Amino acid sequence: MTMIITVLGAAGTIGSRLAEQLEERGHEVRRASRRTGVDARTGVGLREALGGADVVVDCLNLEALRAATARAFFEGTAQHVVRTVRQEGVGRIVCVSIAGAADPAVNRLMGYYQGKAAQEQVYASSGERVTIIHSTQWFELMDDVVRRASIGPVSVLPTMTMAALSARRAAAHIADEIEDSTDDPHSRTLTVRGPEVATTREIARAILSSRGSIGGRRPRVLWQLPYLGRGMADGGLVPADGIVDELTLVQWLADDEG
Ligand SMILES: NC(=O)c1ccc[n+]([C@@H]2O[C@H](COP(=O)([O-])OP(=O)(O)OC[C@H]3O[C@@H](n4cnc5c(N)ncnc54)[C@H](OP(=O)(O)O)[C@@H]3O)[C@@H](O)[C@H]2O)c1
C-alpha cells in the first residue's frame, strides 16, 4: 500500500536517506524542514505538512550540549507534532531516537540525550499510535565526534562503546518498520544496531586509516577518556536485542558511502 509520509528533518543525515528510500518504494514523501517553510519549534507550516498524511516521521535534530536547550527543543517540537497529528488525524508518529539515550545511567552527563529522553516521553505518553526507533550511533556521526574533540593534531574522544551502523542501512530498517506497522493499532518500538561492538577510538582509527582524515581533521594523537560517563563507556549504548544490521565498518568504508 502506498502512503503519504511526512518526513520532518528531511534535509538531515537520516531524514534525507529515509525520504529517498520511501520514494524509491513508491510512497508520496513530503520533505519538511525550515528550508521548506516548516518550523517544528514554532509550529509554522506543520498543519500544511501533516494534513492528509498517513505517517509523520520525526528526524529533527538540534546540536545542543546543554540539557535545558536540548529538552526545550525536543520536548517543544514533539508537543507541536502531537497537537498537529491530533488536529489532522495522522495515523502514526515515528520518532527516530537513540538506543540507551533515555537511560539515566547513560545520559547523566549528556544533556543532548536528556533532551532525547524528554522527546520520547512526550510521544510515548501522547495516546497516539507511535513507533519509537531505538537506533545505535551511525558511522557518519564519527566525523562530528572527532571534530568536536580535536585541538590541532590531538583528539581526546569521549569513550563510547558502540554497535554503530550506516545511516543508509538504518533508514532502510526504519522504512521497513513504517510499512510493517501500517495495520497495527498499537504503539511499537524498533531497536536496530550494527554488527560489531567497538569504542570511539577504534572506530575513529579505522576511518582515519582508510580515508586519511576524519571530520576534516588528521589527528596524530587519538585518545579517549570517559568524560561523558561510565554508562556509555561501559556499553549502555549497546542494545541487548533488536535487529542487527550486517554491514560492517570495513564494508562501509569500502563502498561509496564510507
Ligand atoms: N547521529 C546518530 O548517530 C544518531 C543515531 C540514532 C538516532 N539519531 C537521531 O536521529 C535524529 C536525526 O539526526 P540527524 O543526524 O539526521 O540530524 P541532522 O542531520 O542534524 O538534521 C536535522 C534536520 O532537522 C531539521 N530541523 C532542525 N530544526 C528544525 C526546526 N525547528 N523545524 C524543522 N526542521 C528542523 C534540519 O533541516 P533545516 O535546517 O532545513 O531545518 C535537518 O533536516 C536526531 O534526533 C538524532 O538524535 C542520531
Residue 119 near ligand 1, beta carbon < 6 Å: no
Residue 233 near ligand 1, beta carbon < 6 Å: no
Q: What is the CA radius of gyration of the chain?
A: 18
- What stretches of the chain adopt beta strand conformation (E)? 4-8, 28-32, 55-58, 92-98, 130-135, 150-151, 154-158, 161-162, 188-193, 198-199, 221-225, 243-244
What span, in angstroms and rounded, lies between the C-alpha atoms of 249 and 140? Answer: 11
Question: For the chain, what are the domain ranges?
Answer: 4-137+165-193+239-247
For ligand 1, mutation pick of 6, 42, 59 (most atoms within 8 Å of CB): 59
Sequential pLDDT tens for the chain (258 residues): 899 999 999 999 999 999 999 999 999 999 999 999 999 999 999 999 999 999 999 999 999 999 999 999 999 999 999 999 999 999 999 999 999 999 999 999 999 999 999 999 999 999 999 999 999 999 999 999 999 999 999 999 999 999 999 999 999 999 999 999 999 999 999 999 999 999 999 999 999 999 999 999 999 999 999 999 999 999 999 999 999 999 999 999 998 666
Q: Distance from the CA of 237 to the center of ligand 1, in angstroms?
A: 19
Of the candidates 151, 149, 174, the residue with the CA atom closest to the CA atom of residue 18: 174
Q: Distance from the CA of 59 to the center of ligand 1, in angstroms?
A: 5
Ligand 1 atom 5: the closest Cα is on which residue?
Answer: 137
| Cβ atoms within 10 Å of 216's Cβ, excluding its own | 9
At the second CATH level, the architecture of 4-137+165-193+239-247 is 3-Layer(aba) Sandwich (3.40)
Ligand 1 atom 14: the closest Cα is on which residue?
Answer: 13
